[in-house]
Amino acid sequence: MQTITGTAITLSLRDEFDAHVARQMEPEFESLSQTEENELVIDMTQVQFIDSCGIGAIVFLYKRLKSRGKGLRLLNVNGQPRQLIQMLRIDKVIPLITSAELQ
């Protein structure tokens, strides 16, 4: 689900973001990579599990956005997704934020 607020688009993910879901979302990620908004926020509040394909899809989107001068932030990353993102040091490149930082 997408919402547009000001200069950002928020994309909400749910449950698992694995290879199957990442494949299903390829067209949407491709479309989002062409956005004219300044920033994309992926809301991961309800994501319980992410695998390497989900991580790859996020990194792919980040690179496409960055090449166009746009930003990407990950909102409310917790549990296993947060552990994997931190282990892979992706949080050093793509900021992890909480709802309070969403302004």
Q: Would you write out the chain's pLDDT as a tens digit for each of its 103 residues? A: 555 556 688 899 999 999 999 999 999 999 999 988 889 999 999 999 999 999 999 999 999 999 999 999 999 999 999 999 999 999 999 999 998 776 5
Phi, psi of 74 (to 5 degrees): -110, 125
Cα separation, 82 vs 80, whole angstroms: 5
What is the reported pTM? Answer: 0.89
Domain count, the chain: 1
Locate 99 and state its tokens. Answer: 């709802």
The CATH number that applies at residue 40 is 3.30.750.24
pLDDT at 103: 59
Tokens of 57: 């899809």
User: DSSP assignment of 61-81, as one string?
Assistant: HHHHHHHTT-EEEEES--HHH
Q: Which domain holds residue 47?
A: 2-101
Whose CA is closest to 102, among 79, 80, 74, 61? 74
